[in-house]
Structure 1
Amino acid sequence: MLDGRPLVDVHQHAARLPTLKPAWRQWASDFGDASVLDRVYDAGGTVDPARFDAYLAEEGVDVALVLAEYSPKATGIQPIEDLLPLAEHNPARVKVIANINPHLHYPIEEELQRQLELGAVACKLHPVHAGVAANDRALYPAYELCQSAGVPLVVHCGTSTFPGSSNRLADPVLLDDVLRDFRRLNVALAHGGRGWWYDAAAFMALSNERVWIELSGLPPSRLREYYSRHNWNRLTRRMIFGTDWPGVPGIARNARAVAALCPDEETACLVLAGNATRVYNLKPVS
C-alpha cells in the first residue's frame, strides 16, 4: 500500500547485468537512482530476491511485474528463467511477464506456452527492439494463445534510443489489424505512444475498451501536455501505472505524482492498481 492505496507496477526490468549490453546499464544510470541498484543487486550483477522484495515493500508496491526480453540486437537477453527466483521468493508480490521474438522463437506459440507455464501473467512484444511489426502474421499464433488463455498483450509503443532500435515499428496504428482479428484480446500500450504517437495511443484507448495506456517511462509532470488534445478525465480511467524501473527516480515518487493528476480518488485507485488487477488477472490487494 502507498498512502492507503494499493499499488501495482506493471513494468519493471530486474535483469541480470551480465546478460545485457552496456547501453542498458547506461540507461539505468542516466534515468534511475544508482543507489537503489547498489541496494538490490549482488556483486555478480544479479538482483537479490530478498533485497528486491524489501525495496518494493518500502516503496509501497503490492505487486510488481518484471519483464523478460529477448532482444540481442538492442538491449541483450533478459531470459525469463533469471526472473523466476524473484517471483519464487514472494509470489504474492512479484510476477513475471513473458517475451517473444519471432527471429529467435519458433514455433512462437510453443515458446509462449512454455513461458506461461513458468508463471507468466502476460506476453510482451517489443517491436522496436525485436525488429518486427506488431501486425506481422508470424505473431498471430502467439496472439491466439494470449486470447484463448485470457492473458493480456503488452506492446512497446514508443521511441527507443538503444542502438539497433527500429522506431518506425513503435506505431500503435499497426495494432489496428490485431485488434480487429483478436476481438477478446486486451492490449496495453507500454510507454503510451512516447515520442510521435501520443495522440494515436490516446485515441485507441478512448475508442476501444480493450486498449490501455501504460505509463512506464513517462514523467508524470508532462502527462497532461502529452495528452492535451484529449479528454483528460476520460483518458486517465484508461491508464495503468508502470515505471520502467530501474530507469525511474523512484516508484513511490512517480505513483504519488500520477495520483495527484487524477480527477478523483476513484480514478487514482484505478490507475495505481484497479485497472492492472483487472487486465492482468491479478488477485485484488486487500
Structure 2
Amino acid sequence: MRAIDVRHQGREKVICCWEVDGVLIDPGPGVSEQTLLEALDGERPRALLLTHIHFDHAGVSGALVRRWPDLSVYVHERGAPHLVDPSRLMASAGRLYGGDEGLRELWGEMVPIPEENLRVLSGGETGVEGAFRVEYTPGHASHHVCYFHEPSRWAFVGDVGGARIPPHAFTVAPTPPPDIDVEAWKRSVAVVRGWDPVALGLTHFGEAPPEQLDRVLEALDAQVELEGSTDGEAGFVAAMDERLRAELGEDADTMIQATPLDQLHMGLARWRTKFA
C-alpha cells in the first residue's frame, strides 16, 4: 500500500492516488498523468476504483484506459454515464473554471471510457478485486462511494473524510456544487465509522486516523454556520481564508488549491436553498 502524490500543478500534498496491491484508488486528474505514470514505473494497474467522478479524483481514468484498453474502472451507477460521455460534466465544470480552456489548463483532458470497461456499483458490493467492500456514501457528491480494504481494515473515503494537509489535523469539508447534502454526508460518515477502520486513506491528503471522521463532521458544521452568518461569498471566503492561514500557515495555499474557497461557499449556498 502506498500514497502517490500526483503533484497537481507542481504542488505537493494536494491530490493523493492510493495504490493497494496494484489497484489504484482515485488516480487523479488528466493534467497529472505523467507524474502518475512515472510513479507506476511501467507497471500496469490491475483496476481503477473511483470514489466519484470529479476531475481531481477521476479525470485521468480515460487516458489510462486508452493506454491499457482492458483496464477495469469501478464507479457508482450515477457517475458511470458521465465517464462514457463526459461532455455534460465538462460543460458544467467549465462554468466554474472559466470555460473549456481554463478547465483543461487546470485539470487536463478527460477521455471518454468505453462502457465495456466500466464495473458499475450501487453500494453493498463485497469482494471487489478480491479485497474491497463498497458502500454508497453520498453527501459530497450524489454518486460517491467509499471502499473498505478488508485485509488491512483501511477505508478509502474520497472526500467524505474531508481534506487535511499533513502534518496538520485541521480539516476542511470539501463542499463544491452541485449536489452537497449535509445530512446525507453525516449518514455517510456513520457508514464509514461502522466499518471500524484502523486508518483512512484521503485523496486530500494521505493517511489519517479514525478520529478524522469526527474532524470532518466538526468542519462541516462550522462551514455551514459560517455560510449562514457571513455576508455572501466574499464574506465567507475572507473568513475561511483567515481561518486557514491561522491554522495552517504556509500550507494554507495548498489547502485552498485542494478546496477552492469560493466553491465551498457555492456548494453550501446551493444546499441551503435546496434543503434548509
**TM-score scaled by length of structure 2:** 0.30
